[in-house]
Structure 1
Amino acid sequence: MRLYVREFDGSAERTLLVIHGGPDWDHSYLLEPLRELAGERRLLFPDLRGCGRSPAVDPLTPDAMVADLVELIGSSPVDVLGFSYGGLIAQRLAIQAPHLVRRLIVASSSVLPVPADAFDGWEEYERRTAAHPSLWDNSVLDGAELVRAEAFRTAPLNVWREQSLAEYHRRLERVVFTGTYLKAWREGRFPSARCPDAVERLSGIPLFLLHGRYDMTFPASLVSLTPCTDAVVLDEAGHMAHIDQPEAWLAAVSRFL
């Protein structure tokens, strides 16, 4: 297996591995503001198996993604930041290979499962979801085209500040979308990346939670319920908190590292 990896030079002893979300996205939407840490840290931005520019090689499972990352890391432990779905893969990596994860940042994701009623009664959530209905079941598109269209469809749900939308759209234009996992996910055949008893199994690793207060994918309310080393919830920020509040988001990452 050969992963596509974007690398920025820096101190190898202070390597930060960044795991993107999706899946069926690439890493590029996370480059800013994290690339500002280059030089002081070595940065690794892989495209997960079957995502972006990395080939779709069987098995296409979360465990296979983790195995790829173990090979990429090698023998020396690194800091890990997992974003959204990547936050679940990052937890799985830390649980399966704790000797390779020095510190874990779970950003715009959750350690605890998301309750079915997590967003009930939130008027703004209901307004935005009603204004931008899902394309998954009512589209002539398929594969990468459908994943791309859905990413643009959910943009007003993923960024909180209206003035952040243009920047988010610019980033989406650069993302290499795939449809590798789409069919299995829609048919309920794609294994969950969430680990049971994750809170207990992560207890030996420094864990930092970084969240937008108005995240409409992973509710910020779960942050206060999760035992962790440290946590920051950013005001005026949604799921893409690094785009809504880039300076505050990067400052929080830097402080924890």
Structure 2
Amino acid sequence: MRKNIITVILLLMTLYSKANKDSGYANVNGLKMYYEVYGEGKPIVLLHGSFMNIAMNWLQVIPILAQTHKVIVPELQGHGHTKDIAREFSYEAMADDVSGLLKLLKVDSADILGYSMGGGVAFQVAVRHPEQVRRLIILSGTYAHNGWWPDVEASFATMNAEMFKGSPIQTQYESYGNDPAQFPAWVKKVLSIDVKPYDWSKEVKNIKAPILMIIGDADGVQYEHALELFRAKGGGRMGDLHGLPKSRLAILPGTTHIGMMVHTDYWIPMVNEFLTSDLNPTPPMF
């Protein structure tokens, strides 16, 4: 089994490294944001989670989505090739960075997919720049700080660099030329985005773009949090009688927060179907 997993990973790494891509840096809001672009078709933007970068977060995803989409993958403030600047970490600021990148790439509207921290950024792109968002996909993300299970929310304040010592996160941080002595300060700054309370419930429920929210049944996101948004977007009624809502909710079995990036075979088909469907709300029986 382990040999098979390693073989698959090596194959994906080969596909990722050989995929046709454009890459560069975009000067947005004082930030020199690194990005990569793969494939052709309707544009989709992938927004990574905390401490991640393009390769760590999207290795399994890019080769598949790039077969049918133009995949735009930035590295957010202080992550990967994108160096940090003298600006606090905030979902709002990073959403404005993504908006600026799309304008520079002359992309009028795109589908936005965000994972974890990237999910929060994706919500804010749709809130602050609705004209740039066609459809929104949130993987294991929240729109309010209390959307996490209480023990998860409490853990953000206790995490520190020691927990990541010797991990791929530290290795990747140093591989991009960052000062190893600054690693603890970087970890603290990244965590700061979730230590501060936030609640965008009203704004997110008013998003016009269709939303697909996906969480794991053993995720850090509370079921009720996802259900609250789904109900606000038209869920909670029998589709055979009233038609399907344009937004969707999926709870994946046997899937943790980190496992969301392992079980891509669960959710990539859901994402592809959501992006290509006409989302006709007519009841199937009619």
The two structures have a TM-score, normalised by structure 2, of 0.64
Task: Report whether the alignment pairs 1:71 with 2:88.
Answer: no
| Counterpart pick for 2:130 among 94, 98, 117 | 98
Counterpart residue number, 1:4:
34
Let me know the Cα RMSD of the aligned residues.
Answer: 3.3
- Cα gap change, 1:104/1:93 in structure 2, threshold over 3 Å: closer, same or farther? same
Percent identity between the aligned chains? 18
8 Å contact kept, 1:88–1:193: no
8 Å contact kept, 1:119–1:219: no
More strand by share: 2
Structure 2 regions of 5+ residues with no counterpart? 1-30, 234-246, 276-286
| Counterpart pick for 1:27 among 48, 54, 58 | 54
Number of residue pairs matched by the alignment: 214
CA shift for structure 1 position 253? 1.3
CA shift for structure 1 position 241? 3.8
Task: Report whether the alignment pairs 1:231 with 2:249.
Answer: yes
8 Å contact kept, 2:145–2:197: no
Structure 2 counterparts to residues 79-228 of structure 1, below 5 A: 79-114=111-146, 118=150, 136=159, 142=161, 146=162, 148-149=164-165, 175-176=172-173, 179=183, 181-184=186-189, 195=200, 197-202=202-207, 204-215=208-219, 217-227=220-230, 228=233
8 Å contact kept, 2:77–2:94: yes
- Cα gap change, 1:117/1:249 in structure 2, threshold over 3 Å: closer, same or farther? closer
CA shift for structure 1 position 181? 4.7
Counterpart residue number, 1:157:
none
Larger relative contact order, structure 1 or 2 (CA cutoff 8 Å, min sep 6): 1
- Cα gap change, 1:186/1:230 in structure 2, threshold over 3 Å: closer, same or farther? closer
Structure 1 regions of 5+ residues with no counterpart? 121-128, 153-168
8 Å contact kept, 1:20–1:47: yes
Q: Which amino acid aligns with 1:15?
A: P
Larger radius of gyration: 2
The two structures have a TM-score, normalised by structure 1, of 0.70
Partners of 2:193 and 2:272 lie apart in 1 by: 38
